[in-house]
Amino acid sequence: MTSSDKALTGRWIRPLFTIVLVATLGTLTLLLPGWLQPETAEGIQLKPPACDLNQGSCRLKQGDIELAFSLGPAPIQSLQELTARLTLQGVDVERVHLSLEGRDMYMGLNQTELTPTGTDGGWQGTTELAACTTGSMVWRARLTLESKRQHYVTWFDFEAK
């Protein structure tokens, strides 16, 4: 290879490298958000909104998914029958599971499968909270939404006496 061939090759390496680098970064910019969507062993995590189930329905919107969840009657109390209601849009689910957990203290298993209400995107079920000897505690209502292709998980924290 002559010195002029080396110079010609050297002139093309830097622009070629720059083109490949820009194309790679552009592709990663487009694909990375989908790859980074939080996925746990339970499924894709939907970020829970800051809300209080004792004040009414909690609403969540993430991407195409919209949901409204309520648990009541309010105020939410232990050893009282509670009705869980979920309205869901943007994803077709086959099953919905509700798990009521002590946020800071293990309170045993309390899982309920919600059933479709027959209205578009409506699900409902009944459950109750275990008694807590501390008088008042923070609970977590964890929802697992199962579609044919994916599971989605979110939760709502609330206080009960």
The CA distance from 103 to 140, in Å, is: 5
- Supply the pLDDT for residue 42: 60
Q: Of 84, 104, 102, which Cα lies nearest the Cα of 144?
A: 84
Listed range (74-88, 118-132, 146-160) with the worst mean pLDDT? 118-132
- The pTM (predicted TM-score) of the whole model is 0.72
Three-state SS string across the chain, please?
CCHHHHHHHHHHHHHHHHHHHHHHHHHHHHHHHHHCCCEECCEEECCCCCCCHHHCCEEEEECCEEEEEEEECCCCCECCCEEEEEEEECCCCCEEEEEEEECCCCCCCCEEEEEECCCCCEEEEEECECCCCCCCEEEEEEEEEECCCCEEEEEEEEEEC
- Supply the pLDDT for residue 96: 98
- In this predicted model, what pLDDT tens digit does every residue of 119-131 receive, in sequence order? 788 999 999 998 8
Q: Distances from the Cα of 109 to the Cαs of 4, 94, 114, 137, 161, in angstroms? A: 77, 22, 16, 16, 18
Does residue 29 register a pLDDT over 60? no
